[in-house]
Amino acid sequence: MIKLAVYGKGGIGKSTISGNLSAAFAKKGLRVMQIGCDPKADSTALLHGGTRIPTVLQLEREKGKQIVLSDLVTESESGVICVEAGGPVPGVGCAGRGIINALETLKRLGAYETYQPDIVIYDVLGDVVCGGFSMPMRKGYADKVFVVTSGEKMARYAAGNICMAVQNFQGRGYATLGGLILNRRNVENEDAEAEALARDFDTRIIGAIDRSAEIQQADVMGVPFVNAFPDSQAAAQLSALADTVLQICGG
């Protein structure tokens, strides 16, 4: 089983990348589980026509100890197994703690053994890399971390913090850095800035996605752009990225 985590600054497009990777892997005949680890709980919306699914934390609040695995898991039309960790009630509780609780619940209920995915993708908010937000990096969860960035200053800053966190965990059996994914925003010197960031952490850009009308249109439609526009340049770039991710993860 391949286990990977996709991190990135909020709004950088990590959920769009994650959802499209899941769709691309599914088209290759692989069984995919995508676990959203962002309090906004919108990671898997693209796989459900733009609709958000109930979250682990929400269902635990409603059902308590009566909760069962089938309550937490929703399968998309394309066959992707979807879970959203969710977050606390706004203004109350810790989002990071919620991620820890959600992942521990999935493990306790035997989610991986029951659904037997070929690939698990954790889609994680990366503005803060501490506590629960670092949970998918820990032993037993993801084996590789991929960081989505653009050439924008704050995106590169957040990406640098994530890469630093991965490095700090080295030697503990935690996830290792698989590389950067460049989600282009057409800013000045974008590729050069991203390549400099990769060199700083002794890694590389494993794929780049150009900004395009097809990506934006598919987001409005609430579907992965690899499904909505399979012949587009964006779909070709994403498919190449999926192949590279599989190579890096040994798939």
C-alpha distance from residue 160 to each of 113, 120, 142, 176 (Å): 34, 24, 19, 14
Helix (H, G, I), strand (E, B) or coil at 83: strand
Quote the CA–CA distance of 61 and 206 in Å, as a whole number. Answer: 40
Give the whole-number percent of the chain exceeding pLDDT 70. Answer: 94
> Which residues belong to the active site?
9, 14, 40, 127
pLDDT of residue 39: 80
Give the whole-number percent of the chain exceeding pLDDT 90. Answer: 66
Of 21-35, 37-51, 107-121, the least confident: 37-51
pLDDT of residue 137: 84
pLDDT of residue 25: 97
C-alpha torsion 121→41→124→240, nearest 10: 50
pLDDT of residue 251: 66
Of 15, 247, 106, nearest to 23 by C-alpha is 15
Quote the CA–CA distance of 26 and 30 in Å, as a whole number. Answer: 5
Cβ(7)–Cβ(149) below 8 Å: no
| Each residue's pLDDT tens digit, 128-167 | 666 677 888 887 789 999 999 999 999 999 999 999 999 8
Query: 21 pLDDT band (50/70/90 cuts)?
Result: very high
Of 122-126, 194-198, 228-232, 244-248, the least confident: 122-126
Cβ(206)–Cβ(245) below 8 Å: yes
pTM score, whole prediction: 0.93
Return the H-helix or E-strand segment holding 144.
Answer: strand 144-149
pLDDT of residue 81: 95
pLDDT of residue 95: 62
| Each residue's pLDDT tens digit, 70-90 | 999 999 888 899 999 887 666
User: What domains lie within the chain, and their CATH numbers?
Assistant: 2-249 (3.40.50.300)
Please measure the distance between the N-terminal and C-terminal CA atoms of the chain and give it in whole angstroms: 9
